[in-house]
Amino acid sequence: MKDAAFRDKVAGELDVICFEMEAAGLSMDIMPCLVVRGISDYSDSHKYKEWQRYASAAAAAYAYEFLEVWREDSQATDIKYPQELSERRPLETKSSGKETSAQYQTKPTPNAAASSLHVEDDVRRSRYKVGIICALPKELMAVRALFDETHPGLKKSKDDTNTYALGKMGLHHVVTTCLAEYGTNSASVVAVHMKRSFKIRFCLLVGIGGGVPSARHDIRLGDVVVGKYIVQHDVVRVTEDEGFQRKNQPLQTPPLFLKTAFKSLYSDPNLPMNPLEPYLHIISSKETMSHYCYPGSHLDIMFNSCSKCSSLPEPCQQTRRCERRKDPIPKIHYGGIASGNWVIADAATRDQKAAELEVACFEMEAAGIVDAVSCLVIRGICDYCDGHKNDDWQEYAAATAASFAKLLLGVVDEQDGDDDILDGNYGPPPDLKRRVEETQRVITPKFEFNMS
């Protein structure tokens, strides 16, 4: 927010006194939260950094004071709010020469994490080093169908609201969960909870997405796009001179060991023509999952872009059906993925943004996860992000994504990613500052290859 007039308009409509960029990512229903902000500017075009350190210190000082009051009155049903903090006891001071410093009386607090976890479950929980997160139950069902072993549940951290399914894929102990709702905010909360309860080394975000077909990359329904990089496409900046500006926010790339695992898989001369077929058969042969089978090429219909009719249920006369490849074997594409809370259902918008960002897929969860935990995004293509969306391909696309996830885990070493474990110190991502600052980076990476 860098426009005083717009600031005043929005503040009046929303009855707010402060603008910031992170609180919306916290779900108050999942984790009660109080937002404390030190004021460093006036949300106008005269932004400077001179007040940032002092504002940060003021916010931290208030948080400390608030916690002192809350701890002393922790048995009460209500929480003291800012206006009540003035009733606190006067600060005790200790003189040292000419300087006087305020000394807070602190009490030792018990280790809440240790008290909320049973020792025996903690030992078992430490075995699960791979996390898989899905947005939809149908995606999670496809993943769980590929478990080589299914394990009983374990107690989790006290405030963890996720529900987990545990199992084994090859040599890896895997913990899986599903989002409560769509979007990057929900995904971020789920990832943080999983990382708190399990010392996962890395995470796979597995599920469906919308494909971006092009002459150079023949993406079709049922194909899989593996995220070479993630771009958040719905970040907005407001300035007095330029008004609304949509900022494309580059996020972290997958960890190196997952990149090398993918390329090792790609370079395997003994890889069969359809390496996903055995896993797809396992999924669709389940008694309740027969609808996860291949829908048929006659349902893989894509039309040329038409801005006038992309939102209509039937194509207008200006569109024509594009020729699609005939073989039913799903292809694996390695390219960029655009993530955001907006549903892309317009072919013209899809093509414009895809050309700008150089992406092969659009989805709605990755931006909330990739900077919170080492992650690789795997998306099965269920539609073309146009006005002809339907659900016919969702189950099969979920199956192809789950199948590739298991195929990839077969070449990932059990010890890969151990250096990324934070030994229980699950603080903010190291690049948090980069995420909230204006990015000036230019997105230049291109696709490296397709697997065929």
HEC-encoded secondary structure of 78-100: CCCCHHHHHHCCCCEEEEECCEE
Structure tokens at 105: 């009386």
Both structure tokens of 1: 């927010």
Low-confidence ranges of the chain (pLDDT < 70): 25-31, 69-120, 216, 236-249, 305-325, 417-452
- Determine the number of helices (DSSP H) and then strands (DSSP E) in the chain: 11, 13
Residue-level pLDDT at 218: 85
* pLDDT tens-digit series, residues 187-229: 999 999 999 999 899 999 999 999 998 876 789 999 999 999 9
pLDDT for the residue 101:
43
- Report the amino acid identity of residue 124: R
Backbone angles phi, psi at 411, to 5 degrees: -115, 5
C-alpha dihedral (364, 134, 421, 433), degrees to nearest 10 = 10
376 DSSP β-pair partners:
204
CB 56 within 8 A of CB 36: no
Q: Can you give the pLDDT at residue 103?
A: 46
| Domain locations along the chain | 4-103, 115-451
> CA 38 → CA 35, 55, 157, distances in Å?
10, 4, 31
Q: Does the domain formed by 115-451 have CATH 3.90.1150.10?
A: no
From residue 259, alpha-carbon distances to 207, 266, 375 in Å are: 19, 11, 11
Q: Is 51 exposed, middle or buried (0-12, 13-18, 19+ CB in 10 A)?
A: middle
Q: Please answer whether residues 206 and 401 qualify as being in contact, where contact means their C-beta atoms are separated by less than 8 angstroms.
A: yes
User: pLDDT tens digit string along 404-446?
Assistant: 999 999 999 887 766 554 333 333 444 444 543 443 343 333 3
Q: How deeply is 116 buried, as exposed, middle or buried, from its count of CB atoms within 10 A (0-12, 13-18, 19+)?
A: middle
The pLDDT, as a whole number, for residue 372 is 84
Looking at the DSSP bridge assignments, the partners of residue 449 are 334
175: Cβ contacts below 8 Å, ≥ 6 apart: 128, 130, 131, 132, 164, 165, 166, 194, 198, 200
Nearest to 338 by CA among 365, 306, 303: 365
Taking CB atoms within 8 Å and a gap of at least 24, the contacts of 313-320 are 313/387, 313/388, 315/388
Burial letters for 246-279: b for 16+ Cβ neighbours within 10 Å, e otherwise?
A: eebbbbbbbbebbeebbeebbeeeeeeeebbeeb
Q: Where are the alpha helices (DSSP H) in 22-168?
A: 52-72, 112-116, 119-125, 137-144
pLDDT for position 70: 62
- How far apart CA 227 and CA 334 sit, in angstroms, is 6
